[in-house]
């Protein structure tokens, strides 16, 4: 043919034809990229509960040592309010217990946070063979889409062993 036909008119450009194997390869690469990206975000979201538990353990250890300054360092929102800081120092002074802190159960504030989420966790803990202590912890968690951080906001006084934090 001499360039005459429905696709060879004056002023028309020929479409670039991408071979089918190349198209398939591009599609597969795109799907793999999406899968890996979603997997990474989900993995970061799922590890947030572990990071939250670690932060709670740190504040409980400080509380058991009677270290009000360390407790307030872990609770910057409370530290910024003089009344809350005073109350927390008084409470911590009465919670001092020698020995190793052990978390018996921890219900995180939220299971999976993909964006910023604020909730209340419930922790049952004890020192050595002592009686269990149950407290509520107010937590702000950032999901993998918003930075993946954990900030403890407040720690309640001890509650009954069967009480809820709702």
Is CATH 3.10.450 the classification given to domain 20-155?
yes
Q: Is the pLDDT of residue 2 over 60?
A: no
pLDDT at position 143, please? 66
CB of 154 closer than 8 Å to CB of 63 = no
Q: Is the pLDDT of residue 124 over 90?
A: yes
> pTM for this one?
0.68
Mean local confidence (pLDDT), 102-120: 78
CA distance 142 to 63: 25
Q: Is the pLDDT of residue 84 over 60?
A: yes
Residue whose C-alpha is closest to residue 109's, from 132, 143, 78, 76: 143
Q: Sheet containing 117-127: which strands, arranged edge to edge? A: 101-107, 117-127, 133-141, 150-155
Q: What percent of the chain has pLDDT over 70?
A: 75
SS3 127: strand
Domains of the chain, residue spans: 20-155
pLDDT at position 34, please? 79
pLDDT at position 29, please? 81
């Amino acid at each position: 043919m001499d360039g005459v036909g429905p696709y060879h008119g004056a002023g028309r450009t020929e479409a670039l034809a991408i071979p089918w194997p190349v198209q398939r390869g591009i599609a597969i690469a795109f799907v793999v990229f999406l899968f890996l990206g979603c997997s990474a975000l989900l993995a970061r979201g799922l590890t947030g509960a572990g990071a939250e538990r670690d932060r709670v353990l740190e504040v409980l250890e400080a509380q058991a040592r009677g270290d009000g300054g360390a407790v307030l360092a872990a609770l910057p929102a409370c530290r910024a309010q003089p009344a809350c800081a005073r109350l927390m120092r008084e409470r911590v002074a009465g919670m001092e217990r020698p020995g190793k802190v052990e978390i018996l159960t921890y219900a995180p504030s939220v299971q999976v946070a993909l964006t910023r989420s604020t909730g209340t966790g419930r922790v049952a803990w004890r020192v050595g063979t002592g009686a269990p202590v149950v407290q509520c912890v107010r937590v702000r968690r950032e999901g993998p889409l918003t930075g993946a951080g954990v900030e403890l906001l407040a720690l309640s006084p001890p509650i009954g062993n069967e009480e809820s934090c709702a």
